[in-house]
Structure formats: C-alpha cells, structure tokens
C-alpha cells in the first residue's frame, strides 16, 4: 500500500515538474517574441494575443506529447528529439506570424491541434531510426 502511494506521489510530482518546465518555456517564448517585434512596427494587441495563444497551445501540444511518451522519459534521444521539434515549432510559427496577418486564438488552436499528431509521428519516426 505504501509503495502505491509513493508511486502516485512521484508520478504527480513528475507531471507538476513537467508542467512547470513547459510554462517556463512558454514564458520565454512570449518574452522573446514580444521583444523581437516586426521591423519598424511596435507590437500590437493582436500580436500579443497571438503570441500568448501560441505559448499556451505550445505547452498543450508538447505537454500532451510528453505525457503520452511516459515510457521514454529516461531516454536522452527522446528529450533531444523533442527539444529539436519544439525549436522547429517555435521557429516555424515565428517566421509565419512575422509575415502574415494576425492570427486569432481559434486559428492557432486549430493549427496546434492538427500539429500534435504530426509531432508524435515525427518523434516516433526519428527515435526509431536513431535507435534501430
């Protein structure tokens, strides 16, 4: 009984730690993007909204991916690949949002919902290629 309780506490602490790490990443994304405005244009309310939405949905996409990949948490290749995908995600959105009209939060949510299965598929493919 005691071992089950300890396992539950460690699992809960692991999820809380991952959530905190993802929130820190989201905060860093938001601050960096806010400080790097479009050339000669100060950040607007719309751009602040779209970047805030992107930060929140980035946490959701990668948080879900981490949760679903629990069996790989001790694998360095998993974490390195996930960091690479996170970097690619941020750079891609940064490039797209700098040149496009402001996106609404529902548009960002839709793209991120469509992106999540792709992230899982690419993650699994890269890991299987590197491990296999």
Q: How confident is the model at residue 98 (pLDDT cuts 50, 70, 90)?
A: confident
Which two structure tokens, joined as six digits, stand for 64?
């879900």
Q: Higher pLDDT residue, 32 or 108? A: 108
Is residue 103 within 8 Å of residue 49, measured between CB atoms? no
Q: Pick 6 or 72 by higher pLDDT.
A: 72
Place of tokens 């548009």: 107
Domain spans, the chain: 2-131
Q: Does pTM surpass 0.85?
A: no
With tokens 């941020």, the residue in question is 90
User: What per-residue confidence (pLDDT) applies to 31?
Assistant: 66
- Write the pLDDT tens digit of every residue in 22-55: 777 767 766 666 666 555 566 667 767 777 788 8
The 3-class secondary structure across 16-82, one letter per residue, is HHHHHHHHHHHHHHHHHHHHCCCCCCCCCHHHHHHHHHHHHHHHHHHHHHHHHCHHHCCCHHHHHHH
What percent of the chain has a predicted confidence (pLDDT) above 90? 15
pLDDT at residue 119 in the model:
93
d(CA 123, CA 117): 10
């Amino acid at each position: 009984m005691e071992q089950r309780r300890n396992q539950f506490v460690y699992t809960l602490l692991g999820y809380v730690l991952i959530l905190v790490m993802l929130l820190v990443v989201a905060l860093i994304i938001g601050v960096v993007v806010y400080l790097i405005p479009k050339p000669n244009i100060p950040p607007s309310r719309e751009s602040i909204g779209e970047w805030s939405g992107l930060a929140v949905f980035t946490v959701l996409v990668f948080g879900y991916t981490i949760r679903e990949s629990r069996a790989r948490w001790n694998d360095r290749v998993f974490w390195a690949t996930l960091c690479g995908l996170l970097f690619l995600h941020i750079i891609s959105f940064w490039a797209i949002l700098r040149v496009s009209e402001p996106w609404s939060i529902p548009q960002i949510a839709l793209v991120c919902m469509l992106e999540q299965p792709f992230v899982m598929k690419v993650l699994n493919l890269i890991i299987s290629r590197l491990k296999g």
